[in-house]
Amino acid sequence: MEIAVSVKNLTKKYSLYQDPWGPIKEVVTRKKFHKDFYALRNVSLDFPKGESIGVLGKNGSGKSTLLKVIAGITQPTNGTLDVKGSIVFLDVSSGIDSELSGYENIFMKGTLLGFTKGEILEKVEDIIEFSELGEFISQPVKNYSAGMKSKLGFAISVNVDPDILIVDEALAVGDSVFRKKCMKKMDEFKKQGKTIIFVSHDHNAVESFCSKAAWIHQGELITYGDSKFVSSLYEEFMNGKKTIDSVRASIDYEHSIEQISYGTFKDEGFTIRLKGYIHDTHQQDISEKTFLVIRDVRTGETATKPLSKSGKGFSVQLNAKEHSMFFKPGKYSFNARISDGSGEPAEFSLWAGKAEIRQHLENRNNRFNYQFSIQKNILELSIGNLDKLEQQVNKIWFDDKYAYIEGVAFVRGYETRTAEAASMMYYMTNLASYERLAFPAVISETEEITENPVYNPQGKVYNFSRFSVAIDLSRLENGLYESHLTYQMHHAPGYELVNLVWASKQPEYPSSPYILANQTIEAITATKYLRWEKKDHQLQEAIQ
């Protein structure tokens, strides 16, 4: 593989002074009056010839400094640089003189880019046509709008036919039509086999345009490789889903999920089986030191299982029997957790860009609708009910050591002429410990729905069920609890449905916390979903 640009151990250090006389004081007193700032620190990268390489990083990360060093605009403090071919640094604003006309600027900036007057004359008509400036090309640039000035700068830069094109956030120029024109020109460069170094903080642009990507953070190279892999890590960091430490841990290992199979079995219920590999930096299999972590994206609840060595990789299986009420409607992510004994375990998303997903042939009688997908090369599982459960809590009250709930529930089109047609269970999950408590929901009566066209557009006769729940408050530990309601059909189609408990009738609920001995219990319905909180009453008074 031929390398167009190679940087080795590149460092760029600046001296920052608070006192404008600091440099002179240093010479006179020989004391240090500045703080060292490293825009780049020991960065090593090879940019292959003929490829489009993205450089990601948020503002101030050092990515523009790297480009300026490569383009020869600034010199590195330490390190080596090897460039093979002519370079154009596509910065639409530099090299443009506002006092000169657009036509004169073509020759001036072309000269700065290293071209002779004759070479520019051969290209001048193409540049004017590409810029779309028309008769304005003869007007002073100081009369141009910002968009017109950007169009001129871009048109000059991309029409000088470089071997290496450096693009620094320059594609957001002009109107939408002109931006498409710019991207088309960039695609032409790619087809011609030119090397393009594309700098941006937009991971979507890098992922779609580039084959490889580097991520610079606070002057250091975090990772370099496949653009989709790098951009997915960068996105998770920027969204706050991962810290730099967890990102580094992910990069330290080579990992992939290669096969996902799933199904519902008589004894085990819903079952997931994964196969793949995970290696350390020495290409050693570390499956037996690793746990699979499946996480409920909304609550953070996890189900874990150690990986088992299988052939040249790993295999692992989790099922609903082992993890009761975990695989309920929601979204789930798949991570690896590794502990080297030196501190907190490292956890990161398992790569699944080329995974095969297949439903097991023995699959039957699914409890829910299970849908696997690969988003940004990361495996996701979405679980949904097979039908829609409508539900509402109508009343909440306290009495002695109990909290009571009354509500209604129904599924459109499902007949519940008797209370025995369905059964319900009310679950409370402690969001700190994920301990789950179950309370039976008693169906007292059913009632026909015939008059409401919203719930009954076809005029069919079906029923809703009234239910009640008695919650023994003494069973609750201190903490915040989430509520779920399960609804089991006892006739065809026999679905089991699970809902977060909906409670939107504020006047029918307690307006203040309930005091029981030295504790308070509060029904929280601000989000329309019912949650409970139990805490020490004396501690609350002390805080107040």
What pLDDT shows up at residue 362? 58
Q: How distant, in Å, are the alpha carbons of 160, 249, 350 from that of 287?
A: 53, 15, 13
Please give the structure tokens belonging to residue 531.
Answer: 């949650």
What pLDDT shows up at residue 543? 46
More confident: 372 or 68: 372
Q: Which DSSP letter does residue 137 get?
A: G
Residue with tokens 């042939």: 361
What pLDDT shows up at residue 541? 46
Average of pLDDT values for 51-76? 87
The band of 542, judged by pLDDT with boundaries at 50, 70 and 90, is very low
183 φ/ψ angles, rounded to the nearest 5 degrees = -65, -35
**Of the candidates 489, 257, 303, 525, the residue with the CA atom closest to the CA atom of residue 393:** 525
Average of pLDDT values for 109-124? 80
CATH code assigned to 390-543:
2.60.40
**47 contact partners, CB below 8 Å, separation of at least 6:** 3, 4, 5, 6, 53, 164, 195, 197
The whole-angstrom separation of Cα 438 and Cα 93 is 66
Please give the structure tokens belonging to residue 415.
Answer: 């007949």
The whole-angstrom separation of Cα 535 and Cα 542 is 13
Q: What is the 3-state secondary structure (H, E, C) of 237-250?
A: HHCCCCCHHHHHHH
- What are the start-end ranges of the E strands in 280-421? 290-296, 302-306, 308-310, 313-319, 330-338, 346-349, 356-359, 369-375, 378-384, 390-399, 402-410
Bridge partners (DSSP) of residue 513 are none
What pLDDT shows up at residue 540? 47
Residue with tokens 């107040």: 544
Q: Choose the weakest-confidence range: 20-24, 203-207, 441-445, 538-542.
A: 538-542
The whole-angstrom separation of Cα 66 and Cα 58 is 14
Find out whether 296 and 330 touch, Cβ atoms under 8 Å.
Answer: yes
- Exposure string for 22-33, b = 16+ CB within 10 A, e = fewer: beeeeeeeeeee
Find out whether 260 and 357 touch, Cβ atoms under 8 Å.
Answer: yes
Residue with tokens 């920052």: 16
Q: Please say if the pLDDT value at position 386 is more than 90.
A: yes
The number of angstroms, rounded, from the C-alpha of 314 to the middle of its chain's C-alpha atoms is 26
**Of the candidates 259, 273, 279, 343, the residue with the CA atom closest to the CA atom of residue 305:** 273
Q: What is the 3-state secondary structure (H, E, C) of 490-542?
A: CCCCCCEEEEECECCCHHHCCCCCEEECCEEEEEECCCCECEEEEEEHHHHHH
pLDDT digits (tens, 9 = 90+) for 154-181: 888 777 677 888 887 655 555 677 777 7
CA 300, 301, 305 angle in degrees (round to 5)?
A: 120
Angle between helices 146-158 and 176-191 (to 10 degrees): 10
List where CATH 2.60.40 sits in the chain. Answer: 251-384, 390-543
Find out whether 445 and 468 touch, Cβ atoms under 8 Å.
Answer: no
Bridge partners (DSSP) of residue 497 are 487
Q: Which one of 3.30.200, 1.10.10, 2.20.110, 2.60.40 gives the CATH number of domain 251-384?
A: 2.60.40
Three-state secondary structure call for residue 141? helix
The whole-angstrom separation of Cα 242 and Cα 424 is 38
What pLDDT shows up at residue 174? 55
What pLDDT shows up at residue 340? 64
Q: Which DSSP letter does residue 287 get?
A: G
More confident: 422 or 362: 422
Share of the chain above pLDDT 90, in %: 37
Three-state secondary structure call for residue 182? helix
Q: Is the dihedral of CA 273, 275, 278, 279 positive or negative?
A: positive
Three-state secondary structure call for residue 326? coil
Average of pLDDT values for 450-465? 61
What pLDDT shows up at residue 18? 78
Q: Please say if the pLDDT value at position 93 is more than 70.
A: no
DSSP 424-455: EEEEEEETTT--EEEEEEEEEEEEEE-S-TTT
Three-state secondary structure call for residue 268? coil
Please give the structure tokens belonging to residue 533.
Answer: 């909180």
Residue with tokens 């940087």: 7
DSSP H or E run through 120 = helix 117-131
DSSP 304-325: EEE-EEETTEEEEEEETTTSTT
List where CATH 3.40.50.300 sits in the chain. Answer: 3-249
Q: Please say if the pLDDT value at position 422 is more than 70.
A: yes
Q: How distant, in Å, are the alpha carbons of 11, 105, 131, 159 from that of 121?
A: 40, 13, 16, 12
Q: Which DSSP letter does residue 50 get?
A: T
Please give the structure tokens belonging to residue 257.
Answer: 């999920």
Residue with tokens 């967890």: 246
Q: Please say if the pLDDT value at position 470 is more than 70.
A: yes
**396 contact partners, CB below 8 Å, separation of at least 6:** 403, 404, 405, 406, 503, 508, 509, 510, 523, 530
Q: Please say if the pLDDT value at position 477 is more than 80.
A: yes
Exposure on the CB side of residue 76, measured as CA atoms within 13 A: 23
The whole-angstrom separation of Cα 227 and Cα 230 is 5
CATH code assigned to 3-249:
3.40.50.300
Find out whether 110 and 120 touch, Cβ atoms under 8 Å.
Answer: yes
Bridge partners (DSSP) of residue 168 are 199
